[in-house]
Amino acid sequence: MLAKYSIFILAFSLIAFAGCSQSQNQSAKLNQKKMNLKPLTPEEERVIVNKGTEAPFTGKYDKFSDAGTYVCKRCGTPLYRSSDKFDAHCGWPAFDDEIPGAVKRIPDADGMRTEIECAACGAHLGHVFKGEGLTPKDTRHCVNSISLEFVPGSGPAATDTAVFAGGCFWGVEYYMKKIPGVISTQVGYTGGKTDHPDYKQVCSGTTGHYEAIEVVFDPAKTSYETVSKMFFETHDPTQWNHQGPDWGDQYRSAVFYRNAAQKAITEKLIAELKAKGFKVVTEVLPAKPFWKAEDYHQDYYDHKGTTPYCHGYVKRF
């Protein structure tokens, strides 16, 4: 009797397990159908699903420089802009920035590297490295060509990003959000030596970081020069280590350029101000890692319902 009962339990468990597996498979198929994921070849699946790596110097986008956008091979989500691609001489496509929110970073199974995935569908892209000094942003997304598709486009990028430091980042953000064509802003810390700093650390003056803002804008609706002019006209670029009543090295005035064009525009505007008699002390520095500030700092004046106490608009151009 006991033997028969045991056989019954085992049979029931096998049926239940099979049913569960079938249900999971059906759920996965439904999710794939919902996302309209592209069917993959065995080699694509080896890299994209099973986290493999294509051989170096064999990918179609390694030595490729056309203007356009790189999208996820599996789900079509835009991941990288051609303007952020550079030749790292490593054998795989390299990018020093991604389209905001498109790429997810996770610890690699090897315990040492950082893996990157498509944030939308989880497709394996490659790995991201920092500290190599290859570009001003000091970041290299090492991506398998097989994980990407290229969408050509000769027009301007869908978005561009500017990074400024001009005293308390609450006030700078308040005015940047008013520019037509600005898509999003976030305040944070950059320019220093400490990874993942918090507000208390930055205020201590030991990190070297600036209070800064990252501005994402639509180049079809506004320009880097327009955004930069707002920066120079809503803080005092002649004040060093302070803005109004706020004192400290985190309040230094600086522009963190992301490419040669941004640097040239910034230097032109500073030259114009100096020609008008302004003793500009604003630093012009290559972009460094940007660390987002705590949530309570984001959109501060919108939540508080007041206006900045140390920033105001003064026409200078």
Active site residues: 142, 168
- Among 228, 234, 279, smallest CA distance to 255 is for 228
For 177, how many CA atoms within 13 A lie in the half-sphere containing its CB? 16
Tokens of 152: 């050509």
* Contact call for residues 86 and 96 (beta carbons, < 8 A): yes
The count of other CB atoms within 10 Å of the CB of residue 42 is 6
Pairing of strands 114-118, 103-107: antiparallel
Which residue bears the tokens 């033997």?
3
CA-CA-CA-CA dihedral for 13, 19, 25, 29, to nearest 10: -170
- Among 18, 145, 129, 16, smallest CA distance to 71 is for 145
Tokens of 51: 């986290």
Cα 15 from Cα 192, distance rounded (Å): 59
Handedness of CA 148, 151, 156, 157 (dihedral sign): negative
